[in-house]
A and B are shown apart, each in its own frame.
Chain A
Amino acid sequence: MEALKDLWNFIRKRKAYWLAPIILILVLIGVLLVFGGTGALAPFIYTLF
């Protein structure tokens, strides 16, 4: 959570709002990949793709 807070503060201070959707998508893909690898979320990912 601290990392996400830092990220949001960074985007705000730099006024680099264009980064927000890109980072959000990257993080979501990252989460899917990490959890997809563990098996817990795997069935949902298969249905997604």
Chain B
Amino acid sequence: MQLGFFNFKTTNLIGFLQYYPLQSILSRNGNYMKKILGISAFYHDSAAALTIGDDIVAAAQEERFTRDKHTPDFPTNAIKYCLEEAGLEIDELDAIVFYDKPLLKFERLLQTYYSFSPKGLLSFLKAIPVWVKEKMFLKKLIYDGLKEVGEYDKKQVKLLFPEHHLSHAASSFFPSPHDTAAILTVDGVGEWCTATIGLGEGNKIKVLKELEFPHSIGLLYTSFTYYLGFTVNSGEYKLMGLAPYGNPESEETFRFVELIKGNIVDIKEDGSIWLNQSYFTYATGLKMTNNKKWAELLGFERREAEADIEQYHCNLALAIQIVTEEVVLKMAREAKRITGSDNLCMAGGVALNCVANGKLIRENIFKNVYIQPAAGDAGGALGAALAANYIYYGAERKVQSPNDNMKGSYLGPSYSGKEIELMNRKVKAVCTKYEDYTQLTKEVANRLEEGLIIGWFQGRMEFGPRALGNRSIIADARNLEMQKKINLKIKYREGFRPFAPSVLAEDASDYFELDQPSPYMLTVSPIAEKRKVKLPDNYYDLSMWERLYTTRSDIQSITHLDFSARVQTVHRETNPRYWELINTFKEKTNYGLVINTSFNVRGEPIVCTPHDAYRCFMSTDMDYLVIDDFVYSKTEQPDWENKDKWLVKFKMD
């Protein structure tokens, strides 16, 4: 294996315009609160966010409106919603900020093709026309997209372009409750950067070190996602969920770790990595991996999508999880070493690896770890807006300690009683309206205890990939059958996939080894010792399905195979209605937690409108639906057994 010393490089920020020099980003004082629209688009997870001064007024992903998961389209609907929420027109905005620098990305593309030539000709011929026709003229694309949103005067629009990883860094640091913090951003790739370490102080962010393409821990993880038969850019969660099925004591798992570290990736002490490009084709090809070389190394062919999952697939998933954690921890230690800060803020797609996050928190490298709930590219829209507000315009930043500035990530649209009633009329829904919320929670708690599954829709939609109690499917976590039932009959997804709990923040330590709040479901924690049930001696000799259905704890449905859970702590201050529901369930059952999974089926974006929720409810075996104060029982709905009538086919992810 060819090993070159590849360290984190010293960074060179290049400002906010597509070509601006460093000096131009020096702060300039504004006299009033800037109204700024952030946009991410054209790659995946398009989104828009609107800020007025410190206030994050609205943020939403375009997929929720167009019902096309991870859509790369210009976020016309999301922008319309953000402007409506703020009561603004395009002309009233101080700036519109795109979340990365397209020309810098184009430079990377050309330089990469040049370096690898003559390899990659096919990919070059496919990619370049798109760039020459569209992406090189991104300003025009944005202007045209804005025309779809509404009338505006082009001369009034100020377009800014912060770097991709600066947008990530800003999305995490600026809303965080910290005045100073180390910032770690890790993802697949932005323009050139794949990871950065920075320091946030007040209203400034200084990027100190960066790792450049093609060496990327995000792309390494995605390559394994691809090799194990899951979809690139969306199946990473499945890989993470599969890892606990791997046997941590098996020789095969150790062998895989050694093979990965000895051949594919070289991990340096500062957390930077060097990827042996002979194992990859993503730099120049249309696929992620050199499958022939991987098969020779690992001893098995790439798994086809939907093919059976064997134990060696699980062990490989565990091996790459172990390697990823090692890299993230080393990067965090390097961030601590060069910043000396007690706080860490994280963003970028890799920051959605909740298992690595849990390990990072338990390592106690930092006193406080804050992770942006929309850590992926959608969050870049918010980061871009915040970066413009604080760094470009130099706005003063007021830290909201101890709480962050994300409003629980409930930044999307909500719907009035009138709108819900109109939907009821349109679909001829039968429902009961509860004037007294306490009565409603009692009714729902009763149904949960009976083992029924509830679609729970209320208030503003969440921003980011997680449903946090406003667009959720909920059920009783104690029920032994629930994991199987929800996967197969409600979500129509792979049976191995785990479920996460929503737990009252006050009671979290009663169920989990967790000493920090986890309001955004971004941390995996072990189940408390007292909850565990002794496993049979031959546990690891059982098949993965037998192990899955072996009782592991008294909260079985949210206990993953390795006795872990991806916890959401529910706080009365940020979501009082959801808190009260779980508290009512606790009064009845003595258990202050429920299963919380996103309100959608496989391949579908999380529901946005009451109609999306009703349609999803009717097309699955969900028993009850709650939309704000309205409760719908499945068996009371007209023609309720005819699920096909409501079924919409979504692209499998």
Contacts and interface: CB of A to CB of B under 8 A. Distances in A.
Partners in one complex: yes
A27 B19 CA distance: 19
18 contacts: A3-B136, A3-B137, A3-B140, A6-B17, A6-B19, A10-B18, A10-B104, A13-B14, A13-B19, A14-B14, A14-B107, A19-B107, A19-B110, A22-B110, A23-B136, A27-B132, A30-B129, A33-B129
Given A12-B19, A13-B14, A7 B107 contact: no
Contacts of B18: 6, 9-10
A3 to B, nearest CB: 5
Given A6-B19, A9-B19, A10-B19, A29 B132 contact: yes
Nearest to A22: B110
A7 B132 contact: no
* Those 3 A-B pairs whose CB atoms lie nearest each other, nearest first: A9-B19, A10-B19, A30-B132
A16 B110 CA distance: 11
Nearest to A33: B129
Contacts of A19: 107, 110
A17 B210 CA distance: 24
Interface string A18-42: 0100110011011001100000000
Contact of B21 (A6, A13, A33, A34): A13
Interface in B586-615: none
B281 to A, nearest CB: 23
Contacts of A26: 128, 131-132
Given A3-B137, A10-B103, A14-B104, 12 more contacts: A3-B140, A6-B17, A9-B18, A10-B19, A12-B19, A13-B21, A14-B14, A14-B107, A19-B107, A22-B110, A26-B132, A30-B132
B139 interface: yes
Contacts of A29: 132
Nearest to B18: A6
A27 B128 CA distance: 10
Contacts of B132: 26-27, 29-30
Given A13-B21, A14-B107, A19-B110, A6 B128 contact: no
B549 interface: no
Contacts of B14: 13-14
B133 interface: yes
A30 B135 CA distance: 13
Contacts, number: 43
B20 interface: yes
Tell me if B's interface is mostly helix, strand, loop or mixed. helix
A23 B128 CA distance: 10
Given A12-B19, A13-B20, A19-B107, A30 B139 contact: no
B186 to A, nearest CB: 25
A7 B20 contact: no
Interface in B514-531: none
Given A27-B132, A30-B129, A30-B132, A3 B139 contact: yes
A27 B104 CA distance: 17
A14 to B, nearest CB: 7
Given A13-B20, A22-B110, A6 B129 contact: no
A2 B17 CA distance: 13
Nearest to A29: B132
A27 B110 CA distance: 14
A9 to B, nearest CB: 4
Nearest to B136: A3
A40 B213 CA distance: 42
Given A13-B20, A27-B132, A6 B103 contact: yes
A41 to B, nearest CB: 16
Interface in B1-50: 14, 17-21
Contacts of A33: 129
Nearest to B137: A3
Interface string B62-75: 00000000000000
Most chain-B CB neighbours within 10 Å: which of A23, A27, A34? A23
Nearest to B101: A10
A9 B103 CA distance: 11
A7 B110 CA distance: 14
A22 B136 CA distance: 13
A40 B132 CA distance: 20
Interface in B105-143: 107, 110, 128-129, 131-133, 136-137, 139-140
A10 B21 CA distance: 9
Nearest to A16: B107
Nearest to A26: B132
B420 to A, nearest CB: 46
A31 to B, nearest CB: 9
B447 to A, nearest CB: 58
Contacts of A2: 139
B576 to A, nearest CB: 49
Contacts of A13: 14, 19-21
B111 to A, nearest CB: 8
A23 to B, nearest CB: 8
A40 B131 CA distance: 23
Contacts of B17: 6
Contacts of A12: 19
Contacts of B133: 30, 34
A33 B132 CA distance: 11
A6 B107 contact: no
A14 B192 CA distance: 13
Contacts of B128: 26
Nearest to A27: B132
Contacts of A9: 18-19
A6 B139 contact: yes
Most chain-B CB neighbours within 10 Å: which of A2, A3, A7, A10? A10
Contacts of B139: 2-3, 6
A30 B305 CA distance: 37
A18 to B, nearest CB: 8
A13 B20 CA distance: 7
Contacts of B107: 10, 14, 16, 19
Contacts of A34: 133
A30 B132 CA distance: 6
B136 to A, nearest CB: 7
B155 to A, nearest CB: 12
